[in-house]
Chain A
């Protein structure tokens, strides 16, 4: 048995040497192939950046950052409402997705059940999250449309002159009536919310835009019309009809949400929720179990362990994951198009919870598709702004991660 097998005894030294050289050569070639291919991604990024920069750099003006979309003065169009819109939409998204995602991750990672049935459920939820992570964002858009925008039509549809859904708070209804002074209106408090219009034949008590009460007199056609603008402002024509308008506080809330930024933000929260959960789970998993054991060994309950030990230790990882997820949310356009529509002509950010909004990707989508060269350049400039925002987010994430890596090494 101890005789060496033929293969070892009959080794051809020349072959061995050649073979070794050939393999080493091959390995070197492979190394250069790797370098070349790894560089491709860098090249792609550079080409992307250069083509965008060369298109958009001339439009990086303060107008871009402070003004709104304009059809008549294209060259002075800006993206302020879109910046605000993205801020509000993504803010909503973060406010909802972060606690929900981290909560879920904590539950799944730290409260692992020991009972068999519960373990099965646990595995199911885990699988479910993996599946949610793979669901295309456009499907979330459709879900957002049925759930947030229409709410299965449970609260009826939003209709002009008829229904504003189920209004819950933050609103006051008035009749808005034109006075004799052109462009000037007065507001009559609306007592019966179901009446959408009323006719004014007699003098009535109204309020001016600042909320101060004023007496309104009636001018009957045929009698001389007052000429003093002051008086004209306090006078309406007999038979004038007031239509309902609503004064909305920022916390105006009604159901369904319709195409509001809230719907958009909630839908985006659905999109990034699985991403956040998975990232948070991963970083909780990275917390050494010895820390948990130490805390439990001191008599801390599971929740106390989570609160005082696991979560703080996992926080950098959770933050990194969340920031990257937020980057995804900021750039996401498809679900927003489905939920909030593609209109971009908005002159300000959202004024109340139910207000609609434009987001940066949708604005870019619109501008880049337009024919005028100005819009093409503007869209490139807007892309630069968006990329800068993303770059800031990403570098924060990378910074946090590297700091943590350093601290741990």
Chain B
């Protein structure tokens, strides 16, 4: 059989012609990646420049910011009366987050175990979309679910012990929000556990329960922990639900029936009120944003470290 014409000609495209456009493409792709760095730089630059307006003020001291137990930036018209102690906002945030985690973590983890270890393909095929739909429910909707359904139910059950706006109903709604996330990330981690480990466990006579709890979960622990951390920072950063349902009064208490303004809730209120742009009270929102950013940053960092340190086991 004779060589086809295309090969007889041996007219191959000059290989250097594409090099320029190739380089151009690589550069533009690199610029895309650079943009993500620029976003971080932008966030940090913004937070620093804008929060100097707060920290420079004579009414504010760093130690006061970190230790004072009152935060009245929205409540005080005059600067002299304003108190800037981040603790009440932190306490609000952590109350809501704690409740959310108490719901999302166990439920999410057990659902994940169910999905990855027990559920048949048919159940998976509708349970997973269900979870995805919950994950896709806008947070505004969940916020109203919190004040229209959860909060009244709580009040009814507890005979009015809960205030209209309270940490618990916001926490529950945030928990619902985080549940699918915990679930699908943990499930991914558990599915990444090689089949061979499960076979090893069954081969030694483990029951399905023992296999999943004693072998699969510990083996997927790094992934599960980073799922928890992600859910945690999502809960800390959640805004609309807490703005709607957690209340607008910063309180320093452990009582879950009370209202709890969170850091994000405060930022939204401050923005919405546009309380005197340029005042120290206004700039305090950036100080809160810095705190928020630092917390979530530490969370992701922890998650990354855990993932990198413990994940390599199966390669």
B1 within 8 A of A: no
Q: Would A383 and B141 be within 8 Å (CB), given that A38-B110, A131-B300, A331-B136 are in contact?
A: yes
**Within 8 Å CB of A141, what residues of B?**
271
For the complex, what is the distance from the CA of A52 to the CA of B145, rounded to whole Å? 9
Closest CB of chain B to A148's CB: distance in Å? 11
A160 within 8 A of B: no
Interface range for A: 35 or more
Residues B138 and A44 in contact, CB atoms below 8 Å apart: no
Q: Would A45 and B129 be within 8 Å (CB), given that A111-B29, A337-B272 are in contact?
A: no
For the complex, what is the distance from the CA of A347 to the CA of B67, rounded to whole Å? 49
Closest CB of chain B to A41's CB: distance in Å? 6
Residues A361 and B46 in contact, CB atoms below 8 Å apart: no
Residues A334 and B207 in contact, CB atoms below 8 Å apart: no
Of A106, A127, A135, A398, which contacts B296 at CB under 8 A?
Answer: A135
**Within 8 Å CB of A143, what residues of B?**
39, 42-43, 46
Closest CB of chain A to B234's CB: distance in Å? 8
Closest CB of chain A to B123's CB: distance in Å? 8
Closest CB of chain B to A337's CB: distance in Å? 6
**Within 8 Å CB of A393, what residues of B?**
136
Residues B239 and A48 in contact, CB atoms below 8 Å apart: no
CB nearest neighbor in A for B205: A20
**Within 8 Å CB of A274, what residues of B?**
36
**Within 8 Å CB of A250, what residues of B?**
none
Of B18, B40, B141, which contacts A132 at CB under 8 A?
Answer: B40
Interface of A is mostly: helix
For the complex, what is the distance from the CA of A304 to the CA of B13, rounded to whole Å? 14
**Within 8 Å CB of A302, what residues of B?**
22, 26
Residues A273 and B50 in contact, CB atoms below 8 Å apart: no
A24 within 8 A of B: yes
Residues A301 and B22 in contact, CB atoms below 8 Å apart: yes
Residues B133 and A391 in contact, CB atoms below 8 Å apart: yes
Residues A334 and B264 in contact, CB atoms below 8 Å apart: yes
Residues A330 and B144 in contact, CB atoms below 8 Å apart: no
Residues A328 and B136 in contact, CB atoms below 8 Å apart: yes
**Within 8 Å CB of B107, what residues of A?**
37, 40-41
**Within 8 Å CB of A33, what residues of B?**
110
Residues A139 and B35 in contact, CB atoms below 8 Å apart: no
B28 within 8 A of A: yes
Residues B240 and A365 in contact, CB atoms below 8 Å apart: yes
**Within 8 Å CB of B194, what residues of A?**
none
Residues B36 and A129 in contact, CB atoms below 8 Å apart: yes
Residues A41 and B243 in contact, CB atoms below 8 Å apart: no
Q: Would A24 and B32 be within 8 Å (CB), given that A142-B286, A365-B140 are in contact?
A: no
B55 within 8 A of A: no
CB nearest neighbor in A for B126: A42
Binary contact readout B275-303 vs A (1 if CB under 8 angstroms, 0 otherwise): 00000000001100100110011011101
CB nearest neighbor in B for A397: B132
B237 within 8 A of A: yes
Residues B268 and A337 in contact, CB atoms below 8 Å apart: yes
For the complex, what is the distance from the CA of A141 to the CA of B292, rounded to whole Å? 13
Binary contact readout A23-43 vs B (1 if CB under 8 angstroms, 0 otherwise): 110110011011101101110
CB nearest neighbor in B for A402: B125
Of B111, B129, B271, B289, which contacts A37 at CB under 8 A?
Answer: B111
Binary contact readout B35-67 vs A (1 if CB under 8 angstroms, 0 otherwise): 111011011001100100000000000000000
Q: Would A142 and B39 be within 8 Å (CB), given that A134-B297, A334-B243 are in contact?
A: no
CB nearest neighbor in B for A100: B32
**Within 8 Å CB of A44, what residues of B?**
134, 176
Residues A135 and B28 in contact, CB atoms below 8 Å apart: no
Closest CB of chain B to A371's CB: distance in Å? 14
Closest CB of chain A to B184's CB: distance in Å? 11
CB nearest neighbor in B for A391: B133
B102 within 8 A of A: no
**Within 8 Å CB of A397, what residues of B?**
132
Count of CB-CB pairs between chains A and B under 8 Å: 242
For the complex, what is the distance from the CA of A342 to the CA of B26, rounded to whole Å? 41
A268 within 8 A of B: no
B189 within 8 A of A: no
For the complex, what is the distance from the CA of A134 to the CA of B35, rounded to whole Å? 17
For the complex, what is the distance from the CA of A193 to the CA of B72, rounded to whole Å? 46
Binary contact readout A304-318 vs B (1 if CB under 8 angstroms, 0 otherwise): 100000000000000
Q: How many residues from B make CB contacts under 8 Å with A?
A: 84
In B180-216, which residues have CB < 8 Å from any A CB?
180, 183, 205, 207-210, 213
A218 within 8 A of B: no
B73 within 8 A of A: no
Of A139, A324, A368, which contacts B289 at CB under 8 A?
Answer: A139
Of A31, A139, A391, which contacts B43 at CB under 8 A?
Answer: A139
CB nearest neighbor in B for A360: B138
Closest CB of chain A to B174's CB: distance in Å? 12
Q: Would A132 and B39 be within 8 Å (CB), given that A34-B114, A390-B138 are in contact?
A: yes
Residues A342 and B272 in contact, CB atoms below 8 Å apart: yes
Residues B40 and A333 in contact, CB atoms below 8 Å apart: no
**Within 8 Å CB of B42, what residues of A?**
143, 147
B90 within 8 A of A: no
In B240-267, which residues have CB < 8 Å from any A CB?
240, 243-244, 264, 267
Closest CB of chain A to B313's CB: distance in Å? 18
B304 within 8 A of A: yes
Q: Would A131 and B40 be within 8 Å (CB), given that A44-B176, A328-B136 are in contact?
A: yes
Residues A37 and B299 in contact, CB atoms below 8 Å apart: no
B149 within 8 A of A: yes
**Within 8 Å CB of B139, what residues of A?**
331-334
CB nearest neighbor in A for B239: A334
Residues B239 and A138 in contact, CB atoms below 8 Å apart: yes
**Within 8 Å CB of B230, what residues of A?**
133-134
B224 within 8 A of A: no
15 more CB-based (< 8 A) A-B contacts, given A324-B136, A338-B268, A390-B136: A27-B208, A30-B213, A31-B208, A40-B111, A41-B107, A51-B149, A103-B33, A137-B237, A146-B46, A328-B136, A330-B138, A337-B272, A364-B140, A364-B141, A387-B137
29 contacts between A and B (CB under 8 A): A34-B118, A35-B114, A37-B110, A37-B111, A45-B130, A101-B32, A107-B32, A111-B29, A129-B36, A131-B301, A132-B36, A134-B237, A135-B43, A136-B264, A136-B293, A138-B292, A142-B286, A143-B46, A273-B36, A303-B22, A333-B138, A333-B140, A334-B239, A334-B240, A334-B243, A337-B271, A361-B140, A365-B140, A394-B129
